[in-house]
Copies of this chain bind each other. A is one copy, B any other.
């Protein structure tokens, strides 16, 4: 196990009806800005629950934060925060709303152009407290300090992270996910699955606690993911998926172990070039990456096969079966695992590799051995 520091100060309020309890965790006298997205919270009853929970409090709202939240939109929200003397942010929605609100929290106190936080890694030295009511289990942003923002003007999609933007509290009410479209639940489960894999399917370092924790979360998603699609109103199933997705990226399974993230970086280029959903790109890249890295990741792929999918066989057989089981899970969730499923021409592969180079991603993976040529082989295998 490698040395590590772990600190996650977010308070989790989990379960049906927990929105009613948020008032107790927002400072008395706070001037609150409720942020949200395209308005689904006004259809599924969540908005009414928020209104009721904030009765008697001073609050304002800012809707319309996009999927892949736009910097430009968030700067409008930041102006509103200053205008209304807001001092507490409450993000209500999925990962995009939470990520966007993290940038607002940092931008309010930032001296200069806040885009520098993303483009130049300008340090965040102060942030407004923020909390969230999560309505879509997927990214884990409800319990970490990470955020991904898109500048619409230039189509740049960049990330920042700071311990100052961990939500103070996050409400996870599985009942708020009942009305989600199947595609969003499927994408969320695939996203969480790959988050775990990026921290787990790496060179083994004898971190048994982290391995077992990761395997437990993977098994939960494999067992409960398809049920979440088949029985959208099954509370217990949605609860397991939601809690698993949070723990997939709250830092706990990633401490003390090498991390990969090559699937994410290659996937980002596919989203940028062809507009596929983030999870769709992960489902395409991961199985091919596992195949291309079958030697380097041999021990861990076999462990995944044995422990998570209950497979057996000689080394080569077991690796093949494990890759097939991983792709099979994605397909079972309704997420295709080949570029060709999206009618993307094979000639795009050159552009995708060129863009990786252009963005400086020339040595990806926990061994830094995924060069542009290896990435090309991965994309060819995913075609």
Q: Which residues of B contact A209 (CB under 8 A)?
A: 216-217, 220, 240, 243-244, 247
Q: Does A343 belong to the interface (CB within 8 Å)?
A: no
Specify which of B7, B14, B217, B219 is in contact with A3 (CB 8 Å cutoff).
B14
Asked if A1 CB lies within 8 Å of chain B CBs, one says yes
Cβ of A41 under 8 Å from chain B: no
Q: Are A6 and B11 in contact (CB under 8 A)?
A: yes
A15-23, A31-39, A50-58, A323-331: which lies at the interface: A15-23
Interface size on A, residues (CB 8 A): 41
Residue of B nearest to A15 (CB): B3
On whether A215 and B212 interact (CB within 8 A), knowing A1-B236, A7-B12, the answer reads yes
How far apart are A92's CB and chain B's nearest CB, in angstroms?
A: 19
**A255 CB to closest chain B CB, in angstroms?**
7
**Interface 1/0s, chain A 1-13, versus B by CB < 8 A?**
1111111111111
Nearest CB in chain B to that of A216: its residue: B212
State A208–B11 Cα separation when bound (angstroms). Answer: 21
Q: Does A206 lie at the interface of the complex (its beta carbon under 8 Å from any beta carbon of B)?
A: yes
Residues B240 and A206 in contact, CB atoms below 8 Å apart: yes
Q: How far apart sit A209 and B240, CA to CA, in the bound complex (Å)?
A: 6
Our pick among B7, B14, B236 for the contact of A5 (Cβ within 8 Å) is B14
> A207–B15 Cα gap in the complex (Å)?
12
- CB proximity of A376 to chain B, nearest CB, Å: 37
Within 8 A of B (CB), among A178-234: 206-209, 211-213, 215-217, 219-220, 223-224
Bound-state CA distance A256–B15 (Å) is 9
Contact of A208 with B1 in the complex, beta carbons under 8 Å:
no
- Provide the residues of chain B in CB contact with A11, threshold 8 Å: 5-7
Cα–Cα distance between A240 and B207 once the two chains are bound (Å): 7
Residues of B within 8 A of A236 (CB): 1, 206
In the assembled complex, the Cα of A154 lies from the Cα of B9 at a distance in Å of 39
* A89 on interface, CB distance cutoff 8 Å: no
A349 at the interface (CB under 8 A from B): no
Q: Does A239 contact B (CB under 8 A)?
A: yes
When distances are taken between beta carbons in the complex, the residues of chain B under 8 Å from A16 are 3
B1 touches A243 (CB 8 A): yes
Chain B residues within 8 Å of A215, by CB: 212, 216
